[in-house]
Amino acid sequence: MSTDTYLGALWIPDMLTPSLNVVLRWNRWRRAAEGRDWERAVLCAEAFSPVPKCGRERRRVEISRYGGRLLDADNAAGGAKALVDALRRRGLLFDDSPKWCDLAPIRSYPAGQRGRGMLVQFWRLPAADGG
């Protein structure tokens, strides 16, 4: 869309979202700890490449996973829930519902020159119809 505005990106080094198959075996305390870890990682990444806080606007988010095993689409999406929730808690997303967040399919790449980590890119979208 030509009306999308690129807002910036966060690079989170040395952390990878787990596979959904791994997350499903965790107990609630492990899932809560994972959420806190991602929130701290997002906070640190914001210090190096600030992305404007959200307010009440729609955003598209593209998450790329560099390093580790290449995950299929459903395992990558399910494993990234803690990261998406951390983005919402840090104010980079108003809400993670489809009305407010267009989450692109999560891409998985070998580490390569970029190294191991997560790249999160943000775009401002036009307002949704009726909202």
For helices 28-48 and 81-89, the axis angle rounded to 10 degrees is: 60
Q: Give 10's DSSP letter.
A: E
Average pLDDT of the chain?
Answer: 92
The single residue listed with the structure tokens 């980079």 is: 92
pLDDT in tens, 28-69: 999 999 999 999 999 999 999 989 998 899 999 999 999 988
Alpha-carbon distance 125 to 107, whole Å? 21
Residue pair 72/24 in contact (Cβ under 8 Å)? The answer is no
Looking at per-residue pLDDT, the higher value among 112 and 75 belongs to: 75
Residue 128 has pLDDT above 70, yes or no: no
pLDDT in tens, 89-105: 999 999 999 999 999 99
Alpha-carbon distance 130 to 10, whole Å? 31
Residue 3 has pLDDT above 70, yes or no: yes
Residue 1 has pLDDT above 80, yes or no: no
Contacts with 69 (C-beta within 8 Å, 6 or more apart), sequence order: 19
